[in-house]
Amino acid sequence: MKVRNPLLKLFRSKIYTALLLLFFVLCIGVFGFKIIADYSWIDAVYMTVITITTVGFEEVNPLDDTAKIFTVFLILSSVVIVGYAISIITEYILSKNNFEDIKQRKMQKEIDAMKNHIIICGYGRNGRQAAMKLRTYNKPFVIIEKNKEMTDRLLEEDMPYVLGNANEDETLIEAGIKRANTLISALPNDADNLFVVLSARQINDKMTIISRASQETSYNKLKLAGANNVILPDKIGGDHMASLVVIPDLVEFIDNLGIVGQRNINVEEVKVELLYDASEVKTIRQLDLRKKTGCTVIGFKNTDGEYIVNPGADTKLVPGSKIVVLGRPEQIHSLNSQYNIP
C-alpha cells in the first residue's frame, strides 16, 4: 500500500533503522558469547536473548571477567537500542492513527460542503468502475462502503468516503444525500439495492437514482421503488459479446468513443444554454459548431427527454434541451475552451 504522508514515511525509515540495530546487537551478542565464553550456538543465542531483554535468568555457565565485561556492554547497548525501537514503533502507531483521524475529519468537512454531487453505494467491481469514470469527468462523488479494509484503501487513494451501511438513513445523510443530485447503488445484492433505492427516494425525491440488478426479475421492482435507471451488468455483457460476433467493427468503433482518459474524450453532452444566449432560439445550422470547433452534432435531446439521432440542421435548440457532439479529443477541447464548458 502506498504511503503518501511524508511523516509516516519518516517513521517507517526509523523503524527499519531500529530493526537493523536490533539485528546487529543480536549478532554481536551471539558471536560474542560463542567466541568469548565458548558457548554452543544454542546457548549463545539463549544468553543473548535473555541479556537483551533483561529478564534476569541465570547464565548457562559461569562467566569469566572478560565475558562479564562483554555482557555489561551488551546490556547497556541493548537497553538503549530496544528503548529506541519501542519508542519509534509506539510513536509511529499513534501518529498513524492521529493522521487517519485528522484526514477523516477533513474528508467529512469536504463531504458536508458538497452540493449536486454523486453518491456511490458499494465499492465493488461496478462501484469502482463508476468512481474511475466520474474521476475522469472530474465529477464530485462520495463512496459509501462498510468494509473497513476497503475504506483504508480509499483513504490512501484520497477518495471521499463514508464508512457505514448504505441501507441506513443516517449513513446516506452523512454522505450528503439531501444535497446530492445522483445516487448509484452498486451493491451486489438486489434486495440491498432495493432498500437503498426506497430510502434514497424517500429522503430526496428530486435526485436521479441508478441501480444495479443481478436478476431480471428485480428490474421492475427497482423501477417501482423509484430508480430512474436499472442496469443489468450480466445482460449488457452478454449483448456486447454477441454484438462483437454480429457487428464487430461497429462495436469496436463505439468502444473507442468511450472515455479512457482526458486525452481520449470523443463525445460530449452539452446544454444549449452554455452555447449561446437562449433567449433568441437558434438552429443547429446557425450555431455552426462544425465550422467553429470541428465537432459534429450527432444527437439532440428535447425538453421532453426524447432523443433524436443525427438531428437535422433546422432543429431548434430551445432552452432546456441538450446536444450530443462527436469529435477528436482536440476538437472536444476546442469546444470546451471556446464556450467555457467545465
Identify residue 239 by its one-letter amino acid code.
D
Number of domains in the chain: 3
* CATH code: domain of residue 98: 1.10.287.70
Residue 155 and residue 230 in one domain:
yes
Flag whether 244 is in a domain: no
Vertex 17, ends 15 and 18: CA angle to 5°?
A: 65
Flag whether 1 is in a domain: no
Predicted pLDDT at 74: 84
How far apart CA 96 and CA 30 sit, in angstroms, is 35
How many CA atoms lie within 13 Å of 27's alpha carbon, on the beta-carbon side?
6
How many CA atoms lie within 13 Å of 274's alpha carbon, on the beta-carbon side?
17
Flag whether 245 is in a domain: no
Predicted pLDDT at 99: 63
Residue 253 burial (10 A CB sphere; 0-12, 13-18, 19+): exposed
Under 8 Å CB-to-CB from 330, ≥6 apart: which residues?
none
Predicted pLDDT at 88: 77
- Structural domain including 41 reads 6-108
Flag whether 102 is in a domain: yes
Output the nine-digit C-alpha cell for 45. Answer: 543465542
Flag whether 61 is in a domain: yes
Q: Taking Cα atoms as reference points, which of 325, 301, 260 lies closest to residue 334?
A: 325
Flag whether 249 is in a domain: no
Per-residue pLDDT in tens (0 to 9) along the chain, 342 residues: 344 455 556 666 777 887 888 888 889 888 888 888 888 888 888 888 888 877 767 777 777 888 888 888 888 888 888 888 888 777 766 666 666 666 777 888 889 999 999 999 999 999 999 999 898 878 999 999 999 888 888 887 888 999 999 999 999 999 999 999 999 999 999 999 999 999 999 999 999 999 999 998 999 999 999 999 999 998 888 888 998 899 888 888 777 775 445 456 788 889 999 998 877 889 999 989 999 999 999 999 998 888 899 999 999 999 989 999 998 888 888 898 888 887
Provide the CA 224 distance to its chain's centre, in angstroms.
31
Q: Which of 108, 133, 158 is the last residue of a domain?
A: 108
* CATH code: domain of residue 188: 3.40.50.720
